[in-house]
Amino acid sequence: MRVIIIGAGEVGSSIAAGLADNHEVVVVDVDGERVDALTYSLDVLAIEGDGTSLSTLREAGIEQTDMLIASTDDDETNLVACGTAKTVDDPFTIARVKNVDYLETWEHAENAFGVDFMVCSNLLTAEDIVRVIGLPAARDVDPFAGGKVQMAEFEVDEGSPVAGQTVQEADRFESLTFAALLRENDVEIPSGETKIRAGDKVVVIGSPESVQGFAREVAPGATPTGNEDLVIIGGSEIGFHTARLLEDRGLHPRLIEQDHDRARELAEKLPDTVVMENDATDADFLAREHIDEADAVVATLESDEKNLLVSVLAKQLGAKRSVAVVESGEYVGIFETVGVDVAVNPREVTAEEITRFTRETHTENVALIESDRAEVLEIEVDRESALVGRPIREAVADLPTGLVVGAITRDREFVVPRGDTIIEPGDHVVVFVDMDILDDVSGKL
């Protein structure tokens, strides 16, 4: 298909690189130098111009375009570009925003701003951080249904409490589904009697809380239990959402913010978080607050340099793990070299999310298991779907084996799928599908 990407910065360029092989890509940017650079580095058509102006979009061939991705650094520009595109034609529009308010507005009315899919980089980054510190044992974690559902893959090792248990024994969580066990080369859809062996990889789908709970079962040593000391330094949007998501998982982080008003605001919004008002680069304060005993320190300040300083300081004092947000992609390697355990780059996270999304057509969201053995899809089902209008047990029985309904969200609320649950049109269903039957099944869902 033909894709127009507005913005040739880090995000736009890396999306373009991801799509150029299989699609016709046109990139629009106001900066002539970036346009030149892209012309020679990727097989795309790069145009100099303002993506919010109709004449530029026409020059880029908006009438023949199937998809428009607005990925500039400016939220409003992105929203206006999508809106402008919708005035001439109906391409599928994707907008990158930082501000979570826009995301909430859009989730409230799915055609708001003329945007068909919105990616909020602050929220995505926070989710990424939470995954890193909240589920260190997971090999892979992907959020679905706006974060209401999570898919996670764990490797069961020798010492794990669940090794040797049956699925029924291990599954003590209300809203968790065992989607699959991966052994050597086959994908097994487990029943209640299936025994989990050491070396298996387990794929579970469920609410974030239940996934967190299961992680404690699988790898008690490596998973925060709620008594862990997690410290977030910097009350930026990313810091706030990180704290909020950790609260959702039943954890109690501490958050350090220098600005008085902002600290107050955060304290009001985060009931389970201890908010402290101080300069985080103050080593005495950090020592006094026993940062040396922290299990993880997350630096989410507004500048890369400060994040680096704080992370190194915390590590030096004796914190176990440090995670830092890095705005410029080229520093990721440097950060990890000097001792930051994980550097998270919001731009990279956003670009990956958009690229992954565009690779799929009708599905809302997708995650690949073991790169190509199975897929987890999120689908908004309509009346035509084979899953709708009868109990899940019957619906699945009519489809080839290798499909598991992992979770359902109805009106943005989590619904636990049971054998007798009836799926309604408009529900978002997260399903696990074995790659062997994917082509066969994807048309029927």
- In the complex, the residues that contact other proteins under the rule CB under 8 A are 2, 24-26, 32, 39-40, 42-46
Shortest Å, Cβ 72 to other proteins:
20
Shortest Å, Cβ 55 to other proteins:
13
Pick 57 or 124: Cβ nearer other proteins? 57
Residues 6+ apart with CB under 8 A from 101: none
Q: In sequence order, what E strands does 290-384 have? A: 296-299, 321-325, 342-344, 365-369, 374-380
The answer to whether 270 and 240 have CB atoms below 8 angstroms apart is yes
Pick 26 or 314: Cβ nearer other proteins? 26
First-to-last CA distance in the chain? 23
Shortest Å, Cβ 91 to other proteins:
15
Pick 55 or 227: Cβ nearer other proteins? 55
Listed residue (414, 365, 400, 362) closest to 384, CA to CA? 362
Pick 1 or 416: Cβ nearer other proteins? 1
Shortest Å, Cβ 23 to other proteins:
8
Q: In sequence order, what E strands does 171-326 have? A: 176-183, 186-188, 201-206, 230-233, 254-257, 274-277, 296-299, 321-325
Residues 6+ apart with CB under 8 A from 22: none
Pick 24 or 265: Cβ nearer other proteins? 24
Residue 256's CB is within 10 A of a number of other CB atoms, namely 27
Task: Calculate Rg over the CA atoms of the chain.
Answer: 23
Shortest Å, Cβ 24 to other proteins:
4
The Cα–Cα gap between 39 and 33 comes to 10
Shortest Å, Cβ 69 to other proteins:
14
Pick 44 or 423: Cβ nearer other proteins? 44
